[in-house]
């Protein structure tokens, strides 16, 4: 009898030990203490919306710790820690391959993201050591992102990381050069800062330069998880600044004085008719013409304050003048039920449209 009691006590002790040693990932997998929401807002650090579409998120909040996991990837989670003394949240992501580390800080509706890339190099004894290869810093708000390239890889880490990064982000215009003033093409290794606007169009979220036409920081798919689903943030690729020479990823157009001043509008013209979708954030129309099957044209439309097309121009010729003229004729027939808007007023703008042809 005593042996059975002893066995039961040992079993219960082992069970309690196993439960207490569970990792956060195991806790998420078992969904103990988690609640369902549509997404999680990292600017306010609060769960957002009733879960109506998959994927959604599971959120667990306790004291100074929040754990968030996507419903389709339960063991891939984001963990946030609150620091009451300085009043900010933090999250650290270390890639399993050890290539880079992402430090993220959240305060006052602002997100600071620092990505440190490493590489392994041999020393004189041929033993490999990790050295810092680059540091990339991003300051995000609900409407834009500033990409900051410091002039050294030795600052803004280790001791007082958050305080140093916050100070840099507060004073980046004084401490770094404005890369948008460079006339030549901007390369990824150039030191300085660039300001990017966040544009959500269709199923894409795009960060594009406020000044440099066609300069894109990053393009994310945008689904039911909203911006949280694009995390943890920007890629560490040295090609993260990408040029699209044919597009401004307007929002989706520009002032009538474009390209002299390139003043982008706040709201794109809204199509009134036609088979319209959005491909990579660009208004895309499917047209039928067996002679043009498989071809694509990019057309610039000048649209007035009433939503009427005043002018249509091809970015490049398809090689057949008759076909080019037919494409322009069709483009001039496009109608828009709402014009472009800037500062709450209807404005004339140039607006580019991708045309795809089927039989």
List pLDDT tens digits, range 9-21. 544 544 444 444 3
Average pLDDT, the chain: 76
Task: Give CA–CA dist 30/21, Å, rounded.
Answer: 14
- Confirm whether 285 is domain-assigned: yes
pLDDT of residue 284: 86
- Confirm whether 335 is domain-assigned: yes
Residue 26 phi/psi, 5-degree rounding, is -65, -40
pLDDT of residue 21: 39
Residue 185 phi/psi, 5-degree rounding, is -65, 140
Return the structure tokens found at 192. 């300085």
pLDDT tens by residue, 131-187: 566 678 999 999 899 999 876 555 555 668 899 899 989 998 888 888 887 765 666
Task: Give CA–CA dist 145/206, Å, rounded.
Answer: 11
pLDDT of residue 151: 66
- Confirm whether 305 is domain-assigned: yes
* Residue 42, helix vs strand vs coil: coil
pLDDT of residue 127: 57
Domain of 335? 253-358
Minimal CA–CA distance to 283: which of 255, 250, 257, 237? 250
Q: Buried b / exposed e across 167-200, counting CB within 10 Å, b at 16+?
A: ebbeebeeebeebeeeeeebeeeeebbbbbbbbe
- 186 Cβ contact list (under 8 Å, min separation 6): 179, 194, 212, 215, 241
State which residues of the chain have pLDDT below 70. 1-29, 95-99, 118-134, 151-159, 183-189, 213-214, 233, 235-264, 273-274, 279-281, 316
Q: Are 168 and 148 in contact (CB under 8 A)?
A: yes
- Confirm whether 171 is domain-assigned: no
- Confirm whether 163 is domain-assigned: no
Q: Are 292 and 356 in contact (CB under 8 A)?
A: no
* Residue 181, helix vs strand vs coil: helix
Mode of pairing for the β-strands spanning 282-288 and 349-358: parallel
Task: Give CA–CA dist 347/68, Å, rounded.
Answer: 42
- 106 Cβ contact list (under 8 Å, min separation 6): 42, 43, 45, 80, 88, 89, 90, 91
Total tally of structural domains belonging to the chain: 1
Give how far Cα 2 sits from Cα of 5, 7, 8, Å: 5, 9, 10
- Confirm whether 310 is domain-assigned: yes
To 10 degrees, the CA torsion angle through 199, 256, 262, 198? -10
Task: Give CA–CA dist 353/273, Å, rounded.
Answer: 14
Task: Give CA–CA dist 40/57, Å, rounded.
Answer: 7
Helix (H) / strand (E) containing 286: strand 282-288
pLDDT of residue 256: 45
- Confirm whether 345 is domain-assigned: yes
pLDDT tens by residue, 97-136: 555 788 999 999 999 998 877 665 555 555 555 556 667 8
- Confirm whether 233 is domain-assigned: no
- Supply the CATH number for residue 323's domain: 3.30.2420
């Amino acid at each position: 009898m005593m042996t059975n009691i002893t066995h039961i006590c040992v079993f219960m002790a082992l069970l309690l030990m196993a439960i207490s040693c569970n990792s956060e990932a195991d806790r998420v997998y078992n969904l103990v203490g988690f609640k369902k929401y549509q997404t999680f807002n990292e600017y306010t650090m609060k769960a957002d919306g009733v879960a109506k579409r998959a994927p959604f998120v599971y959120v667990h909040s306790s004291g100074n710790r929040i754990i968030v996991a996507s419903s389709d990837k339960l063991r891939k989670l984001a963990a946030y820690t609150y620091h009451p003394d300085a009043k900010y949240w933090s999250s650290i992501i270390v890639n399993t391959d050890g290539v880079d580390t992402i430090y993220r800080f959240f305060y006052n509706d602002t997100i600071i993201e620092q990505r440190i890339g490493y590489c392994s190099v041999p020393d004189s004894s041929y033993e490999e050591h990790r050295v810092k290869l680059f540091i990339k810093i991003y300051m995000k708000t609900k409407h834009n992102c500033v990409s900051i390239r410091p002039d050294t890889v030795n600052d803004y880490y280790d001791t007082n990381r958050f305080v140093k990064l916050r100070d840099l982000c507060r004073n980046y215009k004084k401490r770094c050069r404005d890369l948008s003033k460079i006339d030549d093409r901007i390369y990824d290794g150039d030191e300085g800062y660039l300001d990017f606007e966040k544009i959500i169009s269709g199923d894409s979220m795009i960060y594009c330069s406020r000044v440099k036409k066609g300069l894109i920081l990053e393009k994310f798919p945008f689904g039911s998880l909203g911006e949280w689903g694009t995390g943890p943030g920007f890629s560490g690729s040295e090609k993260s600044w990408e040029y699209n020479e044919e597009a401004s990823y307007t929002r989706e157009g520009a002032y009538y004085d474009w390209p002299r001043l390139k003043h982008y509008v706040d709201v794109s013209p809204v199509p009134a008719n036609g088979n319209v979708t959005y491909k990579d954030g660009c208004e895309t129309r499917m047209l039928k013409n067996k002679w043009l099957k498989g071809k694509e044209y990019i057309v610039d439309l000048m649209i007035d304050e009433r939503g009427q097309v005043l002018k249509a121009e091809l970015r490049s010729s398809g090689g057949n003048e008759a076909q080019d003229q037919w494409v322009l004729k069709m483009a001039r027939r496009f109608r828009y039920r709402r014009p472009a808007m800037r500062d709450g007023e209807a404005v004339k703008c140039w607006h580019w449209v991708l045309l795809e042809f089927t039989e």
